[in-house]
Each structure stands twice: as structure tokens, then as C-alpha cells.
Amino acid sequence: MATAADATMARMSGPWTGPARAGAGAGAGPVGALRSPDDALQEILEAADAREKFIPVTRAALFERLMRPQYWPPGEAANVGRFFRYLDYWRQQSYGALLLRLEQLYEPFSPDSDLLITRRFSAEERRRMQAELVDGIETLLRQANYTAVDPSNVELILTKESHYGLDLHVDLKAFDVLSIFYRGATKRREARRTIKKLYLRKEEFDVPIFQRLFIMFKLKPEAARIQEIMTERNCSFEEAERHVRRLRSALPPQVSSDSVYLKLFKNMPRTDIEMVFPNTQVRFRLFDKLKLGVTAGGGLGMGVVGTAGKIAVASNPIALAGAVAGLGAVAFRQAMNFMNQRNKYMITMAQNLYFHAMADNRGVMTLLADRAAEEDIKEEVLLYSVLAKAPVARRELPDVDRSIEQYLLNTFGINVNFDVSDALSRLERDGLVSELADGTLRALPPGEAAAHIDRLWDGYLDALPPVGGEAGEEFDFEENGAEAVRP
């Protein structure tokens, strides 16, 4: 039976525009071709857990469609547009305030800061600030509709089927903090020459990718990691120390266990996300081991046989020295083959990371705050456009959720999991939607809603907290000049 929400969305979206394109939209996922609206809606209901909340269209595209005059009472479209713009700016400033707080928390942990260190923090203060920083960044990620990945999920993280042909290994126990999030788990079509085509023609294939991949990490202090190795391996301090230092020898000297690192990548193949870790170890694949082993064994074998023959017939020391030098040259050449293959792996990894990288550290926070605000405003205007047309009972929210999902499918051909509860909580918090005594949800009319946002702006600065009260202790530069310099 049709609900008021279904009727409202039908008036907003207009006629059905045809089946969605296969794979349309960045967040559509592997849904395949959709045959009809009924089939599409059934798929939405059956695959709700598999779909992402990310809405892969711009807020400008939503504004343009949702504020069309034919979907509102006469003369109301202008008020709708004004309210959408006010709400957009209001949401941006709310995330701007959160970003300012996160930047303040991040300063003691930033590896890129060029500011003087003029404030001391105790170990307990750093621990609390780190916890608040991590929680705030993960909040930004969730509001930007990123999905968390469990680092212990070895099927996803430590896969052996590398798109770039690399065998990579990561020691996840080396991290004190490790958060991995992705958005846009989809596929990209590529082509390559294979032995099946005798390398004459290219064969197309699908590459599973993360359109956005985020990683936040902080290394454990060396002393703490040594103690863990001693316990795990039941070995001496000296042996554990050698093991830890060998694993960390590949890290750049500026990488510190005192810093928190934020990295954001684009279009990263899901089978190669080990590349984004700082302690990634490149290992030889089985094919390369066999190839290098055969060539090295054959070369050394022939070199030994040849050298033995020359030594047997050598009549003077010069000939003997030349035979030994020849064997040494053969061994050196085979060793260089191993080194060259390893360097080739490292170059492949570096080149691909260069083109996948989007932002680092503080730049990541700025980008995430902007994306979180954009996702929030898109969800809010979609829900508001339903509630402003007709009151909806709270028990009808699942119907509203499905109607909005159907609207996005009809209008843009995207299959997403709309988060109605998240959008409603923000609209209620800002006083744009209220619940009546009988459980009916009522939204302010567009003109009143715009005026309400205007009043919120007027009181915003008056509600700012007083300056001061931050963690840590300031010290004078004259007394601590050497300390108040960023290394």
C-alpha cells in the first residue's frame, strides 16, 4: 500500500526515466543492469547491508532538482533555494569549528608543522589529546560516509593477489594506532596483454578498487615493540632489539613514533593496499624466485665448472688468479640480478603510490571536513524535501528511507543506502524538524526554515567558548630557546 512519503517522492521525482545504467554512479557498486523500478527496489531491499551510504552526486545537482518549481506550491521554490543555501553554509561552519579543534589537537602530533614548539604536554595530556584526535577524525570519516575496515581482516588487507605484481608484507603489530577507511568499493575496467592471447591482443579485465582509501597510523615506541617481541618469541632483549631495528631500517629517518600520520589515496586497487603502509616489505614472488634461482644456479654452476677446468690446467699464478676473478664476476652478476629485481619492485610501488596519493596529514583533515559537510547537506535536503511536503509519522520513516533511495535511483541511476536516522537527528537538533505529541514529524516551511537558520547564525558567535583552558603549559622562549624550535 502506498504511503504519504511514496506520494511525496513521486511528485518530486517526476516520471520514471528508464532502467539505471549498469554500474552507474561512483557508489553504485556491483549491482549489474536493473530491469525495472520494481526489480531495482527489490534489489535495494535485498542488498541493504552491501550498499554504501555515500551519495555520489554533487549537492548542486540535488539542489537543482529538488527546488524545481513544479514540485512546490506556487512561489515557494525561491524560498526553498534560499533555505538550501543557508543550510549549506550553516553545516559548513559546524564542520569548520570541528576542524579548528582537530587542528589544535593535531599540532603536537603533526610531522609536517613548521611552527615553534612553545607548549609542553605531560604524557597523560598527550594520551588524552591523541584519543580525542583519533575519535574526531573517525567521526569525520563516518560523516563523510566512509566505511571502516578491520585491520585484522586478512582476506582484505593481506592478500597475495597483487594487481601490480608485487608480493608485499606488513607487520600490523608495529602500530600503536591504526585506522583504515574506504569509500566507493567498485571496479575499474583495464586491459593488458596475456599469454592466453600470445601477447598479441589485449584482454580486458575488472580491477576491484577503493575510490577513496584513508589510513591513520602511529608507530609504537621502539622500546614497547622490543618488549612485545621478547614476549612473543621468548627471546633476549638483544635479539628482539636487532629484529625491531631490522624491520624499521627501511623507514625514513624522519618517521617518528611520536607523530600521527594521515594518508588519503584515490583509485587504489584493493589487492595492493599494503603499499600505503610505511613499513611495507617487498618480497620476491614465487615465479621470480624460480627464475632467479634457475639463472643463478646455472650461471654459477657453469662458472664453477669453467673455473675448475682452468685451475686444473693453469701453469702460472696469473692464470689461476684470472680464473678465480672470473668466477667472482659471475657470482657478482647473479647477486646484482637479485638487487635489480628488488629495485624494480620498489620503483613499481613508488610510481603507483605517486599517482594514487591525494593528501597527507593536515590536508587530509581539511578535505574530510569538507566532504563530511557535503554528505550531511545532501542527506538533509533530501529528507527535508519529503517532510516539508506532508507530515510523516515516525513509524513511516522506513518508507521514507526507501522512497528516497528509489528517488536517487530514478533520478541518477545510483543504488545507495540512505541514512534517514542520521539526517533526521541533525534536522531535529537544529530545530528544523519537530515531533508532535502523536509522533508526527513536522518540518518548518521553507521560508520559516531559512529565517530560523538566520537566527542561529545571529547567536552563533555569542555562544563561542572563552579562549584558554587548553591542555599543556606555555613556556618562555628566552628560557627555552633551543627547545622552542621545530626539529
Q: How sure is the predictor about 132, in pLDDT bands with cuts at 50, 70 and 90?
A: very high
Q: Say what the pLDDT of residue 15 is.
A: 31
How many percent of the chain have pLDDT more than 70?
Answer: 65
Q: How many domains does the chain have?
A: 3
Q: Is residue 267 in a domain?
A: yes
Same domain for 294 and 276, yes or no, is no
Q: Say what the pLDDT of residue 11 is.
A: 47
Same domain for 75 and 168, yes or no, is no
Same domain for 145 and 223, yes or no, is yes
Q: Say what the pLDDT of residue 23 is.
A: 35
Q: Say what the pLDDT of residue 250 is.
A: 72
Same domain for 442 and 316, yes or no, is no
Q: Is residue 303 in a domain?
A: yes
Q: Say what the pLDDT of residue 234 is.
A: 92
For the cut 90, the answer to whether the pLDDT of residue 295 exceeds it is no
Q: Is residue 228 in a domain?
A: yes
Predicted TM-score (pTM) of this structure: 0.75
Q: Is residue 11 in a domain?
A: yes
Q: Say what the pLDDT of residue 39 is.
A: 53
- C-alpha 358/C-alpha 370 separation (Å) is 14
Same domain for 22 and 37, yes or no, is yes
Last residue of a domain, one of 252, 282, 312: 282
Comparing 337 with 31, the larger pLDDT belongs to 337
- Note the pLDDT tens digit of each residue in 336-380: 555 555 555 555 555 666 678 899 999 999 999 999 999 999 999
Q: Say what the pLDDT of residue 146 is.
A: 94
Same domain for 147 and 227, yes or no, is yes
Q: What is the mean pLDDT of residues 19-38?
A: 36
Q: Is residue 49 in a domain?
A: yes
Same domain for 143 and 275, yes or no, is yes
Same domain for 336 and 428, yes or no, is no
Same domain for 239 and 145, yes or no, is yes
Q: Is residue 107 in a domain?
A: no
Same domain for 143 and 220, yes or no, is yes
User: The domain containing residue 12 runs over which residues?
Assistant: 4-94+364-463
Same domain for 130 and 183, yes or no, is yes
Q: How far is CA 421 from the centre of its chain?
A: 24
Same domain for 419 and 311, yes or no, is no
Q: Whole-angstrom distance between the N-terminal and C-terminal Cα of the chain?
A: 68
- Note the pLDDT tens digit of each residue in 212-256: 999 999 999 999 999 999 999 999 999 999 989 888 877 877 888
Cα angle 385, 388, 389 (rounded to 5 degrees) comes to 90
